[in-house]
Amino acid sequence: MKHFFKITGLGYPGGRNIRRADFMASMMARCFIMAVFAGVPSLSPAADTLETVEKSADQWVKLRIETVRLETAWQNERSLVESMVAALNERAVAAEEKRDLVKAKTAKEREELDGLRAKIEAEGNQVKVVDARLKDLTGKLVALRPALPPLLSGALEMSFRSLDNPALPPGERMQLVMNVLNRCAQFNRSINVGEDVLALDGTSSTKSLEVIYWGLSYGYAVDRTARKAWLGTSRDGGWRWEPKPEAFQNVLRLIDIAADKADPDFVVVPASVPRSLPVNHQN
């Protein structure tokens, strides 16, 4: 409880209100100053007058009052800060408890995620291995293309162009490889008749001719106007055409039978059988 006094005199003209503690501090300062002056036998004319000392004492009282005010304000704010710190600590503890609860609830899910990551990594490594094998197989298919019948090679033009792209995803590369292999297998199991643009007789000029292919092994081409015939075989890493003028009539009849333009019959046509590789016998 604060106590105030209204005092007059002692440097307070007209009177003023002052707290008991401040009044006591002021009076003690004044008594101290008067005691100091009482112990001094005489003062020189240049010494501080009593009025100057009272002004200094008044300033000291003001400083003391301000100090008490600041200390009181600090005490009030300190309690507020301490309460805020306590509240923040409680929130931190609650957040930690909530974190631990969430970690406990999601432990199984996190374990499953770790398993999925490991599985994805393993499958990614397998995809890399498969992609490397597919690229190797692609290189072999591209190298095999010149030995394919021209009719089949032309039909697979877009597939081979796509396979030449090194940045092709493994899935698309697999589809294209399977497409090429399936088309080759289908072509090899059937007799294919049609027209093809070929460069024959060792010239660079091309001509559209009637052709018939016996699987992937043999093919025949005829020029009805020039009455010429050719035998095509896969040899020396490419498809080769060999002139067979004597077989013109038989090849033409064979093409007509395959195209349902003539009755079925036995037709003798030339064929080229590659020589067998020598076999080393060991005794």
The pLDDT of residue 152 is above 70: yes
- 281 or 145, which is more confident? 145
H or E stretch at 271: none
Task: State whether residue 42 is helix, strand or coil.
Answer: coil
pLDDT at 42: 46
Mean pLDDT, range 143-152, rounded to an integer: 91
Per-residue pLDDT band for 276 (boundaries 50, 70, 90) equals very low
What mean pLDDT comes out for the span 95-109? 84
For residue range 170-205, list pLDDT tens digits in order: 889 889 999 999 999 999 999 899 898 888 766 667
Predicted confidence (pLDDT) at residue 212 exceeds the cutoff of 90: yes
Per-residue pLDDT band at 17 (split at 50, 70, 90) = very low
| 184 and 216 Cβ atoms separated by less than 8 Å | yes
In this predicted model, which residue has the larger pLDDT, 109 or 221? 221
pLDDT at 24 (0 to 100): 55
pLDDT at 231: 92
Which residues, 6+ apart, have CB-to-CB distance to 18 below 8 Å? 4, 5, 7, 12, 26
At 222, which helix (H) or strand (E)?
strand 218-223
pLDDT of residue 243: 92
Q: What percent of the chain has pLDDT over 70?
A: 78
Per-residue pLDDT for 221 more than 90?
Answer: yes
* Residue 13 reports pLDDT greater than 90: no
Question: Given this model, what pLDDT does residue 273 score?
Answer: 65
Q: In the prediction, which pLDDT does 76 show?
A: 77
Residue 240 has pLDDT above 60, yes or no: yes
Residues contacting residue 5 through CB under 8 Å, at least 6 positions apart: 17, 18, 19, 20, 23
Residue 275 pLDDT greater than 70, yes or no: no
The CA distance from 132 to 166, in Å, is 11
pLDDT class of 26 with cuts at 50, 70, 90: low
Confidence (pTM): 0.54
Give Cα separations from 63 to 8, 19, 66, 241 (angstroms).
21, 14, 5, 119
pLDDT at 253 over 60: yes
pLDDT score for 248: 93
Averaged pLDDT, 37-65: 68
